[in-house]
Amino acid sequence: MSLDSLAPKIARHDEKAFAELYEKTRRLVFSVCLGVVKNSALAEELTQDVFVIVWSRAGEFRGKGFKTWLLTIARNSSINALKKARRETATDFFENEHLGGRYTVDEQIETGAVLKAALDKLGEPDRQIVLMKNAGLKMKEIAQVLGLPRGTASWRYSVAIDVLKKELEGVE
């Protein structure tokens, strides 16, 4: 079943439809959250938050593009979480590059080397583009979520992969 057709069912709190949505999009949502917060534990929590929001607000969705709507919620939730973390923590441990800061990577992150390099070495929006692309989003969809021209997103992806390649070859 297409994601757009799941939306009205989820609005009626159909658990089967919700489970289908979760299974089809959990990696995408996680990758979006992780791309923003660079912390897998926080990204996991945010992923859960996103689905709870979708459960309660699916009725507000209209038309086509349920996936983009979902991922926009994921991105906004993540950005809000960062802002909150910034306000609450004594040290500037998480700073959103959009707000002029730099990211540091959670050292306890349990990820592979490539993912770690992506989180550590790539800036915005390259990091998000790389994660979303490899979580299964098409470039057109990534461009829509991030508000970029499609060509720019493709270009940035190509550049980001080169950066990762150099980083990983340097490590090897």
Partner 1 sequence: MKRSEIERQLKNDLAASAPSDFASVLARCEREKPVSVLVTEPVLAGGNVGETAHDHRHGGKLRALAVSFAAILFIVLSLVWIFRSGSVGGVKGKPAPFSNGYFVLDINPSVELSYDKNGKITEAAALNDDGEVLLYGTELVGKAYTQATGILFERCLELGYFSAAREDNAILASATSNDGGRDEKMTEQIKTLFSEKFSAYKLRGVVITGVSNPELETEAQKHGVDAQKYALIQSYLALGGALAESEYASITIRELYAKISEKEAAIKEAEKLALEAQKLVLQGELLEGLSEAVEDVLDGLTEYIDRDFGGGAFRPADEHKKHYYESKIEEIAEYAEEIGDARTAEDCGRIVEKIFRSLDGLQKGEPDQTFRILIESAKISIQTLFVSFEEVNKALNNKKATAEEIEAARKDKFDRDVFEEDEDWEDWQEKHEEDFSSSWYDYKNRWQQARERDLDD
Q: What part of residues 8-67 is at the interface with partner 1 (CB under 8 A)?
A: 15, 18-19, 22-24, 26-27, 30-31, 34, 40, 43-44, 47-49, 51-53, 55-57, 60, 63-67
- In degrees rounded to 5, what are phi and psi of residue 103? -90, 150
Identity of the residue, 92 or 136, whose beta carbon is nearer to partner 1 in the bound complex? 136
Q: How far is the CB of 91 from partner 1 (least distance, A)?
A: 25
- State the minimum distance, in angstroms, from the CB of residue 97 to partner 1: 18
Beta strands in 23-167 (DSSP E): none
**Peptide bond connecting 8 to the previous residue in cis, omega within 30 degrees of 0:** no
Q: Which residues contact 155 (CB under 8 A, 6 or more apart)?
A: none
**Bridge partners of residue 103, in order along the sequence:** 94
Contacting range for partner 1; rule: CB under 8 A; set: 82-90, 100-108, 120-128, 145-153 = 145-153
Query: How many CB atoms neighbour CB 23 within 10 A?
Result: 9
Residue 84 near partner 1 by CB under 8 A? no
Distance CA 18, CA 145 (A): 22
Nearer to partner 1, 12 or 90 (CB): 12
Q: Give, as ranges, the residues between 85 and 144 that touch partner 1 (CB under 8 A).
A: 110-115, 118, 130-131, 133-135, 138-141, 144
Contact 164, 116 (CB under 8 A): no
| Residue of the chain from 72, 101, 105, 124 that contacts partner 1 (CB under 8 A) | 72
